[in-house]
């Protein structure tokens, strides 16, 4: 079998950032996949599943309610390696065009209080596996260390 495109990126060179990893074409339509890389692969501890799960619930809720972007949101969910998340938007985008959206999402998570949306046994397959405190920690870290003052090296994958 062919090695898929996402495995051809050298993960030893990667740092946290906002990267376009794919553009898929369906007729005239374009879907842009972003890798929202929260931690440095293979060099830093990965996020635990509970906080990844909480970020998934809160991030998806935020994006799918966004006043100007909700119609563009195709998908938001975790990478299996737990170093970040995928966000897929309907449209042809560059990373720098979505930095403010991702910042807003992180600010929403950092300031979130109350019941996590969708965290009930009817709505979720593992509803009690949540960690809001650590979700806030990772969202804040990504916001402060990566998204604020982000430069080109953290917006485009190294060749
Ligand atoms: Zn869930």
pTM of the model: 0.95
Segment 47-98, tens digit of pLDDT:
999 999 999 999 999 999 999 999 999 999 999 999 999 999 999 999 999 9
d(CA 51, CA 137): 9
pLDDT at residue 135, rounded to an integer: 98
Decide if 127 contacts 121 (C-beta within 8 A).
yes
Average pLDDT, the chain: 96
- How close is the Cα of 57 to the center of ligand 1, in Å? 6
- How close is the Cα of 60 to the center of ligand 1, in Å? 11
d(CA 6, CA 66): 28
- How close is the Cα of 116 to the center of ligand 1, in Å? 10
């Amino acid at each position: 079998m062919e090695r898929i495109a996402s495995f051809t990126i050298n993960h030893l060179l990667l740092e946290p950032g906002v990267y376009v990893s794919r553009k898929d074409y369906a007729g005239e339509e374009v879907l842009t996949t972003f890798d929202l890389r929260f931690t440095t692969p293979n060099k830093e501890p990965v996020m635990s599943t509970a906080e990844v799960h909480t970020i998934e619930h809160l991030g998806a809720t935020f994006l799918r309610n966004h006043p100007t972007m909700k119609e563009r949101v195709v998908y938001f969910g975790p990478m299996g390696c737990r170093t970040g998340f995928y966000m897929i938007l309907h449209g042809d985008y560059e990373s720098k065009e979505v930095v403010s959206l991702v910042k807003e999402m992180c600010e929403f998570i950092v300031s979130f209080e109350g019941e996590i949306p969708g965290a009930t046994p009817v709505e979720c397959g593992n509803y009690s596996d949540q960690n809001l405190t650590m979700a806030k920690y990772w969202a804040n870290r990504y916001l402060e260390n990566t998204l604020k003052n982000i430069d080109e090296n953290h917006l485009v994958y190294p060749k």
